[in-house]
Amino acid sequence: MNPTKQIVSGLARRQRAEKRFRLYGLTAVVLGMAFLLLLFGSIVANGYKAFTQTYIELPIYFDPAVIDPSSERDHQTLFSADYWKLVKTAVYQKFPQASGRKERRELTRMVSEGSAYELRDQVLENPRLIGTTQHIWLAADDDIDMLMKGYIDRNVPEDERRLNDRIIGYVDSMREVDAIERRFNTTFFAAGDSREPEQAGILGALMGSFLTLIVTLLLSFPIGVAAAVYLEEFAPRNRFIDLIEININNLAAVPSIIFGLLGLAIFINWFGMPRSTPVVGGLVLGLMTLPTIIIASRVSIQSVPPSIKEAALGVGASRMQAMFHHVLPIATPGMLTGTIIGMARALGETAPLLMIGMVAFIVDPPGGFTEPATALPVQIFLWSDSPERGFTERTSAAILVLLVFLIAMNAAAVYLRERVTKRF
Amino acid sequence: MDITETLAIPIPEQLDSPAVPDQADLDLTTVGDFTVPDPRMKIRDVNVFYGQKQAIFDVNLDIGSNSVVAMIGPSGCGKTTLLRCLNRMNDTIDGCRVEGRVEMDDKNVYDRKMDPVLLRARVGMVFQKPNPFPKSIFDNVAYGPRIHGLVRDRTDLEEIVHTSLERAGLLDEVKDRMDQPGTGLSGGQQQRLCIARAIAVSPEVILMDEPCSALDPIATARIEELIGELRKNFSIVIVTHSMQQAARVSQRTAYFHLGYLVEVGSTKDIFTTPKHQLTEEYITGRFG
């Protein structure tokens, strides 16, 4: 048999093997995409309705007798007045058929308790409202919101569902005259945490995450880059440096909760830093991100062609000049990519923040690095623990917001990586 | 341990033995006079080691003023290693150790007090593969004068850049696109840009490590012509694989074999009447 014939006889088998392998690969990709879509799909399906919120239109009479009996427009008086009473009066007037004590309490429960603060803010901003009647859209209670979003099944027996037939009747009657509707949920983006789902927002968590990441970046980027430059360019080759390198690689694999314990023991217990604050969270996450940045920076420094450095040394540049004038500019996009990926990981990190107390219930968005705060993933963790249906959808919505930030950061990393390939 | 694995920069030449004739009984001591009157640099008893492996054995050689010395020899004979000793570029290679003296103005360049930055400003280098910075043509040439503080203002700098490009024979081709990246030039132009970059700091010696090995014959001819011009102002040491090139551009030739300097003399003598058996076999093409 001649060689050509031998090759031909094996060709079909080789082609079959290749086809089979391609099929395996395709199956793996399709499966992966399917799971990803399932994940995203379920989160979006659970969460998208949280971006709207049910509002009820009520004719509020800003009764001077309630708000400002002395007619002095004194700030303190206006601030501490009983605005909830205005809301109650308005609902009673809207549904005069409800007369009993129990029925009236049901009525007032339809409106969010946060409405009183909403009215107060409006009056403080514009005291001329006092004495007038305004049609104002106020946030509905989360149970009403759930009903409007179709999460409450009317076919369930009355005593087993959260809203009785009477309230559903009120809602339906308001629906007929367009006095109740779903609007974009600004509260979700403008408020801090709350016990009431309709008043809860992610602003506090976002601010906390933002402040934490600033500390993380300020700590880990300069130290990481300096360490990478030293290890690549100036470190002598000896046992001690080998040990350091091995430990940096090991550090990258340490479970993040260990860093949280470290932060608790060192930063809070020993240094006496305040608990639950972005500064401690940032320090802990910075230590966690450090090895990632060092490793990424070293890789991108190594990927710069050595001929560039030799050229610089050849005309008499010092090692530092060769590094800073030629190697680092080329390595920068790669280093930034590593940094962004490290920061994205820090943004999604929960466990170490639990250890340092950033898991507390904090209503006011933090105004500085040393004020108590939570972070976005911790907020998700907190809400996912809450029994109210309103928090379930807000959990998914917060996850969506977190994902948007993560995807944006990763896209930035990809963009930078593209730029580095274009330069050569 | 295999040192090549740990190197940031690969050793420039393979150290494994090339195919050479049986030489067990050959005498490898230098034939010919390695000295010249009024030398610019002096290499005395230099031994170079890569880790445990010795790459250069007891080499003595003078680099003359305003002339071209060609270093030839088969692959792995240590000519690039020796060249890189002259401006201490071997410092960047881990595990590389140099013994002996390399003198410039009667000072050992391997002395502790000698700053490699100053040395490399005085002894410039052109590499095997053109390696312009990924910056503009202007900035490529201006880099050396800038870091050494050789210029007071922009006008000075522009003058240096123009003169250097002119001396490198590149000015006419690039004067309209000085802000274009140097990496966008052709291979031969890139190599002339590297030469311009080297002469911009007014070195005394220029080391050329196979400057034409990555170029086509026309670009090679231009570089060789340029070397002839540069000789008037600089001392040049060129490592080459091409014996024809060595014959064309150099006044003296040094033949290396397995880390030994086997024969040195005027280029004419080496190529017409080689005294050592190995030299003769190499230039007549029996191995290489």
CA dihedral A328, A333, A339, A340 (to 10 degrees): 160
State which residue of chain A sits closest to B194, comparing Cα positions: A311
Confidence band of B5 (pLDDT split at 50, 70, 90): very low
Whether residue A207 sits in one domain with residue A62? no
Query: Residue A221 belongs to a domain with what CATH number?
Result: 1.10.3720.10
**Does the structure show a pLDDT above 60 at B20?**
no
The alpha carbon of residue A109 and the mean position of all alpha carbons in its chain are separated, in whole angstroms, by 30
Whether residue A273 sits in one domain with residue A211? yes
How far is the C-alpha of A68 from the C-alpha of A71, rounded, in Å? 5
Whether residue A366 sits in one domain with residue A280? yes
Query: What pLDDT does residue B24 have?
Result: 52
Q: What angle do CA A278, A279, A280 make, to 5 degrees?
A: 95
Confidence band of B25 (pLDDT split at 50, 70, 90): low
Q: Which chain A residues are Cβ-neighbours of B118 within 8 angstroms?
A: 316
Q: Which chain B residues are Cβ-neighbours of A312 within 8 angstroms?
A: 133, 143
Does any domain span residue A2?
no
**B143: contact with A, CB 8 A cutoff:** yes
Average pLDDT over residues B272-284: 88
CATH code reported for the domain at B3-132+204-283: 3.40.50.300
Confidence band of B48 (pLDDT split at 50, 70, 90): very high
**Are B64 and B43 in contact, with CB atoms under 8 Å apart?**
no
Q: What percent of chain B is predicted at pLDDT more than 90?
A: 57
Closest CA relative to residue A337, chosen from A421, A232, A399, A251: A421
B118, B125, B140, best to mutate vs chain A, most A CBs in 10 Å: B125
Write down the ipTM of this complex: 0.85
- Please tell me which of the candidates B120, B197, B201 has its beta carbon nearest to residue A313: B120
Residue with tokens 């963790």: A381
Whether residue A209 sits in one domain with residue A180? no
**Does the structure show a pLDDT above 70 at B18?**
no
The mean pLDDT values, 10 residues at a time, for chain A of 424 residues are 85 94 97 96 92 92 87 86 90 86 88 90 89 91 90 87 87 90 91 90 94 95 95 88 92 92 93 92 95 94 92 92 92 90 92 91 89 93 90 93 92 82 52
Report CB contact under 8 Å: A306, B8: yes
Q: What percent of chain A is predicted at pLDDT more than 70?
A: 99
Q: What angle do CA B246, B252, B254 make, to 5 degrees?
A: 75
How far is the C-alpha of B57 from the C-alpha of B44, rounded, in Å? 11
**B125: contact with A, CB 8 A cutoff:** yes
- Please tell me which of the candidates B8, B9, B125 has its beta carbon nearest to residue A314: B125
**B63: contact with A, CB 8 A cutoff:** no
Query: What pLDDT does residue A285 have?
Result: 96
3-state secondary structure of B249: helix
B 93-122 residues with CB below 8 A of A? 94, 116-121
Domain that holds residue A151: 49-184
Does any domain span residue A37?
no
Domain positions in chain B are 3-132+204-283
How far is the C-alpha of A404 from the C-alpha of A202, rounded, in Å? 14
Does any domain span residue A198?
no
Average pLDDT over residues B230-242: 92
* Residue A40: CA count within 13 A, CB half-sphere: 10
Whether residue A414 sits in one domain with residue A283? yes
How far is the C-alpha of B121 from the C-alpha of B145, rounded, in Å? 10
Residue with tokens 């502790």: B112
**Does the structure show a pLDDT above 90 at B36?**
no
**Are B53 and B13 in contact, with CB atoms under 8 Å apart?**
no
Does any domain span residue A88?
yes
Whether residue A172 sits in one domain with residue A250? no
3-state secondary structure of A271: coil
State which residue of chain B sits closest to A321, comparing Cα positions: B147
Whether residue A285 sits in one domain with residue A411? yes
Whether residue A108 sits in one domain with residue A160? yes
Whether residue A210 sits in one domain with residue A176? no
How far is the C-alpha of A415 from the C-alpha of B23, rounded, in Å? 59
A315, A318, A327, A422, best to mutate vs chain B, most B CBs in 10 Å: A315
B86, B88, B120, B140, best to mutate vs chain A, most A CBs in 10 Å: B120
**Are A285 and A208 in contact, with CB atoms under 8 Å apart?**
no
Q: Nearest 5°: phi and psi at B97?
A: -130, 135
Does any domain span residue A17?
no
- For B174-218, the pLDDT digits (tens) are 989 999 999 999 989 999 999 999 999 999 999 999 999 888 888
Q: What angle do CA A414, A415, A418 make, to 5 degrees?
A: 85
State which residue of chain A sits closest to B144, comparing Cα positions: A315
**Does the structure show a pLDDT above 80 at B53?**
yes
**B92: contact with A, CB 8 A cutoff:** yes
Residue where one domain finishes, among candidates A154, A184, A214 = A184
Whether residue A324 sits in one domain with residue A266? yes
Whether residue A336 sits in one domain with residue A214? yes
How far is the C-alpha of B178 from the C-alpha of B182, rounded, in Å? 9
Does any domain span residue A6?
no
- For B115-172, the pLDDT digits (tens) are 999 999 999 999 999 999 999 999 999 999 999 998 889 999 999 999 999 988 899 9
Distance between B161 CA and the closest CA of chain A, angstroms: 14
* Residue B285: CA count within 13 A, CB half-sphere: 3
- For B59-77, the pLDDT digits (tens) are 999 999 999 999 998 888 8
Residue where one domain finishes, among candidates A151, A184, A217 = A184
B 166-195 residues with CB below 8 A of A? 194
State which residue of chain A sits closest to B117, comparing Cα positions: A316
Query: What pLDDT does residue A282 have?
Result: 95
Instruction: Please state the domain count of chain A.
Output: 2
Does any domain span residue A369?
yes
How far is the C-alpha of A123 from the C-alpha of A415, rounded, in Å? 49
Confidence band of B236 (pLDDT split at 50, 70, 90): very high
Residue where one domain finishes, among candidates A157, A184, A211 = A184
- Please tell me which of the candidates B89, B121, B143 has its beta carbon nearest to residue A310: B89
